[in-house]
Chain A
Amino acid sequence: MIYWGANPVESHMRHLSRYSALAKGLFIPEGRKGRKVVVIDVRPTPTAKNADLFLQVTPGQDFEIAHVLRCLVKGLRLEGLTETSPVGGIPLSQWRELAEMMKQCHYGVVMFGIGVTQSRGRDLNLEEINTLVSEMNRYTRFYAIAMRGHGNVNGSNQVLAWQTGYPLAVNFYRGYPRYSPGEFSVVDMLARQEVDAALIVATDPGAHLPEKAVRYLQSIPTIVLEPHESLTTTWANVVIPVAPAGVGVEGTFYRMDNVALRLKKLVDFPHPSDVEVLRALKERVRQC
């Protein structure tokens, strides 16, 4: 298992014990002892602490690392590099070791996080890592799993995809769905000040978005559906308290590997669900 730019010990708390590094299975009954764990990250993390191999790389080098790994896996000659030449701050010989380890394993998985997707190169880093993983399948079985953040992001991706065809950055302005990440994504729309009101559901932009985007958001009318006090609720114009899914209401959650799970209701909550509020809002808007 290779955690690349991901630190699930802190970001996906149950992932290691229930699903990845520590999980016991039919063919690895001993769990963690039966598998090799590699962490590639720019700093020592709690996930890295328990790795068999931790490669602390220099920031912004993920594309290069993945590309060199592809060459090493295929046995291609790397001109101008010796065994001690640093790639991403790590000597080539160590990458060669990793490439061998990947080829030798029966079944490998790369779990990549925002350390890869939100650093220099972004989607290109991912393209290269995925190509590496594709090519690994000529030798053994290898998979890549996105370690998405913030609760049910994948659920939102899945529902948008089956209803509109696109997982994110969907614009309905023309009456049909259009898709353009970087153009219709939240940060870009806010940065260009094209938005004049915002309905915010199950997220905390005050905590996650760049300062410039947050400042603009603060200048327009905002409605927030939120069970907790958050950085956004402190300045939003309207806050509608809702029952949290999986505690106060039932729902569906999509796991990192796209498996849909049922969320149960545990206790009665004084507040309505997100769905009830959105339905009521839709009805009122229709009547306006």
Chain B
Amino acid sequence: MLKIVNGQVYDPAKEVKGEVRDIYIENGKITEYSPGREISQIIDASGCVVMPGGIEIHSHIAGAKVNSARIMCPEDHYDHFKSSTAETRSGTGYTIPSTFLTGYAYSALGYTTAFEAAVPALEARHAHEELGDTPMLDSGIYTLMANDHMIMKVLSQKDEVASKEQLRDLITWILTSSKGYAVKAVNPGGVESWKWSQGAVGLDTPVPPFGLTPRKLLLGLVEAIRELKLPHGLHLHANHLGEAGNFKTTLETMRTLEGFPVHFTHLQFHSYGITPKEAMKSAAWEIAEYLNAHPEFTCDVGQIVFGPVTTMTADSPMQFRLHEMTGNKWSNADVEMETGSGIVPMLYKPTVLFNAIQWCIGLELLLLIKNPWQIILTTDHPNAGPFTSYPHIIRLLMDADFRNSVLEQLHAKTGAFTHLKDLKREYSLEEICIVTRSAPAKALGLSQKGHLGNGAQADVAIYRLQDDKEKMFAKPAYVFKDGQLVVRDGEVLRSISGKRLIVEPEGAKILHPDLARDFAHCYSIALSNFAVQDEYLAQPEVIPCI
């Protein structure tokens, strides 16, 4: 039994707010003290805070598009390399690090779980191969479904009862075939529309080839997800990402999906207002006001970090627009019947007004949404910034003077389009713990993670208290993964492999005969070879449906 003593414990799920308590770990779990048990090791956490391991709810770290970006951008890697050590592998990369470095870097920040946010079922095997080479983390993938031909076909049937039943079965089949954790929707209908060289879609635009509207598509998906009782709701990248005035679409989408389990991802990119002269301004206040009245929804922020990024998303029309706008290099893929994807490297600059406003909007959302359980800290890595910037963002949240000093360096007109300078709120350590640990665990339905109660997985991060919160969170004193000490003073001590989190909903595990016929005609792979084989998941763990 291992004992962590003298630490100020933060466990918001159990309403523990920095009281000095001892934590006991045995067989990879947090446990209660039982007299007579031998204490094999004592960790002195004096002057430290003790928190559950960090949980990444939305990041692009593994799979076809990430690897294409690595190949496309060697300039991202040259200056960022690590040699191998007795315990760790070598690698390169800053915004798109190689898999081993990705695992080490998350762990060195105190993170112990991460989800890859967008994987087409056809490319799931590849994503699982990469996650198998991503050490230190429990991981999982979200499977893309909102531009999938089979989904759209099932939903455009006239017989509503049959349609609903078939959709539940189809979602089950796609999730189990891809060994996915959650249903991801990216620009619902919009990606397919672009494949037909048609324009952006609104919620009521009929999308070829089935004439289904995004509204009907979304309602179908959320209803099925609720009935399948999936641990995580619909993970939604809404329509019109990055467009001035898109907050109207975002709000309309929210109203449409009221009462359903939905997580709105990288909401910063979806909270843009528009001025009479069609310039972009912050609409964070409108979005936050809505979410404050609707505690059933969660979101993550997708905070902008100034510096280089590599944007990558299944939202191929958005990426083409970005390429045409910036002239930066671009790669694009069409994933057959399922989705698309695009990659464009970018540089966010504080002196560019658009970027400065984006930066403010993310922080405004974090400060205006009152309940920290509803908003999770992300950078939509590596779209808005690299995840290694989390300590910097934590300082921006906890230190208003620091935040204002950065604000002063932005484009001179930033203040005219944002509210940030008027916001005085500073996050507490408890709130930081919620937005990086407890809230993502809850939103993902992971009952063994994100808290330090009896029986919880012994993923623990210990940080030395410092005035400079960026320094504090950049270099944990200790990190435990499943009860093993893996990081000390920000250095990875040993490389371990984590579990792959999957779900097994109670729908049919085989494809409906009509769809199986379509599959045989239209896919470039035989149905019997499609599902990811068990060999690709060394340590699967089924998370129960709620």
Contacts and interface: CB of A to CB of B under 8 A. Distances in A.
A163 B195 contact: no
Given A161-B70, A174-B83, A140 B197 contact: yes
Interface in A106-126: 106-107
Interface residues of A, number: 42
A107 B334 CA distance: 11
Contacts of B76: 165
Contact of B91 (A18, A165, A250): A165
A106 B208 CA distance: 13
Contacts of B64: 258-259
Contacts of A106: 196-197
A23 B130 CA distance: 30
Contacts of B66: 162
A148 B53 CA distance: 43
Interface string B63-76: 01011101100101
B100 A166 contact: no
Nearest to A258: B64
A18 B336 CA distance: 14
Contacts of A176: 81-84, 90-92
Given A23-B524, A258-B68, A177 B90 contact: yes
A161, A176, A178 pick with most chain B CB within 10 angstroms: A161
B98 interface: yes
A165 B70 contact: yes
Given A143-B334, A175-B83, A261-B525, A164 B533 contact: no
Given A250-B535, A259-B122, A141 B197 contact: yes
Contacts of B91: 163-165, 176-177
Interface in B123-137: 123, 125-126, 129-130, 133
Contact of A260 (B99, B126, B330): B126
Contacts of B194: 141
Given A18-B524, A26-B521, A143-B332, A260 B123 contact: yes
A190 B206 CA distance: 59
B74 A158 contact: no
B523 to A, nearest CB: 9
A43 B133 CA distance: 44
A137 B81 CA distance: 36
B98 A164 contact: yes
B92 A141 contact: no
Contact of A137 (B78, B320, B521, B533): B320
B71 A157 contact: yes
Centre residue among A25, A140, A250, A258 by max chain B CB count within 10 A: A258
B197 A26 contact: no
B209 A259 contact: no
Interface of A: 18-19, 23-27, 29, 106-107, 134, 137-141, 143, 157-158, 161-167, 172, 174-179, 250, 252, 254, 257-262
Given A163-B91, A172-B90, A174-B83, 8 more contacts: A25-B522, A26-B521, A134-B323, A163-B98, A165-B96, A165-B97, A175-B90, A176-B81
Interface of B: 62, 64, 66-68, 70-71, 74, 76-78, 81-84, 89-93, 96-100, 122-123, 125-126, 129-130, 133, 149, 194-197, 209, 320, 323-324, 330, 332-334, 337, 518, 521-522, 524-525, 529, 533, 535
Q: Which 4 A-B pairs have the closest CB atoms?
A: A165-B92, A175-B83, A260-B125, A165-B77
